[in-house]
Structure 1
Amino acid sequence: MHDPAQIERLLARVALRDRVAFRQLYDSCAPQLLGVALRLLRRRDLAEDVLQDAFASVWHRADSYRADASQPMTWLTAVVRNRALDVLRAESVRRTESLDDDDEVEQGVAAIGDERPGPLGLLEQAADALHLRRCIDDIDGPQRQCLALAYYHGLSHSELAAHLGSPIGSVKVWLRRGLDKLRRCMEQLA
């Protein structure tokens, strides 16, 4: 778990270009932030690139962190998440541009093997997304909010408790119950 006060101190020292603090910040936070990037990108090579870009950005923009606006880990997660979303958008544009020439697409698939799902796979993904959305809509407010913050922002139990201003025990219960409801709902729809 990350100590928000410690991360905040490290960010303040990074803003002053303290390389030792930057290394400590990286060592402390990189594993969790890599997990955030991996969940969004689903490719380790892209996630590692995003993490490197995000930390380069942190090095240059650490002075823009405001403790009164967000928890330090939330801010770092947002930096990684925004970089990952930029990569996803760029990949989408690249794919769209590559579809302009069918010959290039056929050659690319034959040469490197396309890992993207076909039409049936896309349909199954869309159906799964609809099922998941229905299940999430059935989950109560605090449980839904905890699940979203944990998944999309990569917040730990203690970070969730601080963010929501709730006891850590309540946060753990909300997460466990929310996940149980989500699992049962998805099993019923399967």
Structure 2
Amino acid sequence: MTSITDIEAMIARVALRDRAAFAALYDATSAKLFGVCLRVLNNRSEAEDTLQEVYLRIWAKADTYAVTGHSPMTWLITVARNLAIDRLRKRKPETAPPGDMDELPASAPGPEAVAMERSERARIAACLEELDEGKADAVRSVYLDGLTYQDLATRHDVPLNTMRTWLRRSLIKLRECLTR
């Protein structure tokens, strides 16, 4: 489990441009920060792009982090949340231009897109059903709910490396299932 002091030390080393510390910080915090971005944006692709911006910002601004006794995750989550909100604000407003309303395209997806989305969801759900219940729950928790590997290892009462192995093998099985 990564402690507050470990994360503070990683941030301090990132401020000195230590790439290994940056990689370790990413490994320790990316799932949680991705979850923050995903909750704000409600769009996986945008959340992934924003997460990249978050780590660019952390790399650039690590020297501004001040150890205050508060959790360094608060600072990291604030960076992620603020960048996600900025991205949300930059979205084009969906207002109708003046003119004939009949000329506007429908904003809702068409029947074909809805059917394709349902089909993809059904395929993913079926592939998740092929996994053991605990492993399927772990995949959902990490990639949909934004829990950390450590949170899951604690929840399932297994070592952290075991949880990483579970997730890696589960993703391999999902990929194989989805390519059939």
1:45 aligns to what? 45
Q: CA deviation at 1:6?
A: 0.4
Q: Give 3-state SS (helix, strand or coil) of 1:109's partner.
A: coil
Gaps of 5+ in 1: 114-153, 157-190
* C-alpha displacement of 1:90: 1.1
CA RMSD in angstroms comes to: 2.7
Q: Which string of whole-angstrom CA distances, capped at 9 and with x for unpartnered residues, describes residues 1-35 of structure 1?
A: 54110000000000001111101100110001101
Distance 1:71 1:24 in 2: 17
State the distance in 1 between where 2:100 and 2:23 align: 47
Is the contact between residue 35 and residue 147 of structure 2 (CA under 8 Å) also seen in structure 1?
no
Percent of aligned pairs with the same residue?
Answer: 44
**Aligned residue identity for 1:100:** P
Higher relative contact order (CA 8 A, sep 6+): 2
Q: Which has the higher helix share?
A: 1
**Aligned counterpart, 2:104:** 106
The verdict on how the C-alpha distance between 1:102 and 1:27 changes in structure 2, with shifts beyond 3 A counting, is farther
**Cα distance in 2 for residues equivalent to 1:90 and 1:69:** 34
Verify the 8 A CA contact 1:7 1:72 in the aligned structure 2. yes
**Which whole-Å CA distance do the structure 2 matches of 1:23 and 1:3 have between them?**
16
Alignment length, in residue pairs?
112
Q: Is the alpha carbon distance of 1:70 and 1:55 closer, same or farther for their aligned partners in structure 2, counting shifts above 3 Å? A: same
Q: TM-score, normalised by structure 1?
A: 0.52
Match of 1:46, as an amino acid? Answer: E
Aligned residue in 2 for 1:82: 82
Counterpart selection for 1:95 from 93, 96, 109: 93
Match of 2:9 in 1: 9
- DSSP 3-state at the match of 1:107: coil
